[in-house]
Amino acid sequence: MTDMTPASPTPAAKPKPRPRPQVMKLTEAAAQRIVELTKRADSEIVGLRVGIKNGGCAGQSYTVEYAHDIRPADEVVEDKGVKILVDPKAVLFLLGTEMDYKADKMQSQFIFNNPNQTGACGCGESVQLKAAKVDG
């Protein structure tokens, strides 16, 4: 005889979450500069907070400031022994960005090599950004 009891449906296995891409990468020069800044800070910091703000002749500009704490919504990037905290509102605009550091006789600054940048003003102080396209 066959068992006429209806088979209970087998629960579908949950798919494994895809690994999240690292929002930003650092060059050796940027990592070294962040280490220097961390040592020279007036108070204890956990890293640098990176974001974007509206303003400037091209519409937006990058922000870099000392981070004294890790906020719950921060995207934490650890690369080359240092920590970058990315403002959650900036993640889609910074996805795939490489942060570099350049110094010459006239100036020293962090440089953002951002694939989401669509334009910049003539003086280089502000940029135009589009949100990154995320598959899936």
Using one digit for the tens of pLDDT, what is the confidence trace for 58-83?
788 999 999 999 999 999 999 999 99
pLDDT in tens, 96-133: 999 999 999 988 999 999 998 888 877 767 777 877 87
More confident residue, 17 or 5: 17
DSSP 31: H
Q: Identify the band that residue 7 occupies on the pLDDT scale cut at 50, 70 and 90.
A: low
Average pLDDT, the chain: 86
Separation between Cα atoms, residue 24 and residue 96, nearest integer Å: 6
Q: Indicate if the pLDDT at residue 8 is higher than 80.
A: no
CA distances, 97 to each of 1, 28, 36, 129 (Å)? 66, 14, 22, 12
